[in-house]
Chains A and B, each alone.
Chain A
Amino acid sequence: GAVVSQHPSRVICKSGTSVKIECRSLDFQATTMFWYRQFPKQSLMLMATSNEGSKATYEQGVEKDKFLINHASLTLSTLTVTSAHPEDSSFYICSARDGSRDRAYNEQFFGPGTRLTVL
């Protein structure tokens, strides 16, 4: 159990277009989802935290108009990179927390990531 999927796994787009990435919890209800960005050979940087039905909380330095996050249901969150540019090229990873389980250690389940390349 506790599987998180992301779609697409890879996307290549032209500069100026918008790209939507989906994150789904397949067998649990995710009350909270997180979006991370990872550059090659670097750590994961938290971009935003989203709770179902409310606005996402963005980390300092992350443009909320650039990276639109929607968490409309307990199993789906989307990240839309608007007007993408080459510097937005990165590996985007989501994670989800299962609010129904009594997991005191606060486990987040990670998706497999989406590789975005902006030409």
Chain B
Amino acid sequence: GEDVEQSLFLSVREGDSSVINCTYTDSSSTYLYWYKQEPGAGLQLLTYIFSNMDMKQDQRLTVLLNKKDKHLSLRIADTQTGDSAIYFCAEIRGQGGKLIFGQGTELSVKP
């Protein structure tokens, strides 16, 4: 299909790992992104991965990319209450560099 898809909700306990999954559609996307949105705010780029990579690690964040299945995941280690937010995956499409976002996954971290 045309859509970038994510599960809508994830609830974890503080200190656990969180894994947020995403499937995208455009196999020619050069970059894939994870953004974080806190309530009433804009988007903050968390991390990105180039399409020829399988994995990228950045402190507590690990991104895994399976190009064959067009599947992207974001793992947050040692999740904290401050990680509670909505997480969007996005792919880039076309010459104009449009970002196409998933629906967002609301991460709730319980103490």
Q: How far is the CB of A109 from chain B (nearest CB, A)?
A: 8
Give the interface residue-count category, chain B: 20 to 34
User: Of A4, A42, A112, which contacts B103 at CB under 8 A?
Assistant: A42
Q: Which residues of B contact A4 (CB under 8 A)?
A: 42
Q: Which residues of B contact A112 (CB under 8 A)?
A: 41-42
Q: How far is the CB of A61 from chain B (nearest CB, A)?
A: 13
Complex alpha-carbon distance, A42 and B86, angstroms:
10
Give the interface residue-count category, chain A: 20 to 34
Does B15 count as interface, using CB distance less than 8 angstroms? Answer: no
A113 and B40 contact, Cβ closer than 8 Å, known pairs A43-B102, A105-B31, A105-B50: yes
| Interface of B (DSSP majority class) | strand
B 14-59 contacts with A by CB, 8 A:
30-31, 35, 40-45, 48, 50
Q: How far is the CB of A13 from chain B (nearest CB, A)?
A: 19
A 24-56 contacts with B by CB, 8 A:
32, 34, 41-44, 46, 49
Contact B96 A57 (CB under 8 A): yes
Using a CB–CB cutoff of 8 Å, the interface residues on chain A facing chain B are: 4, 6, 32, 34, 41-44, 46, 49, 57, 93, 95, 97, 105-113, 115
11 pairs, CB–CB < 8 Å, chain A vs chain B: A4-B42, A44-B99, A44-B101, A46-B99, A49-B96, A95-B99, A105-B48, A107-B48, A108-B45, A110-B35, A110-B42
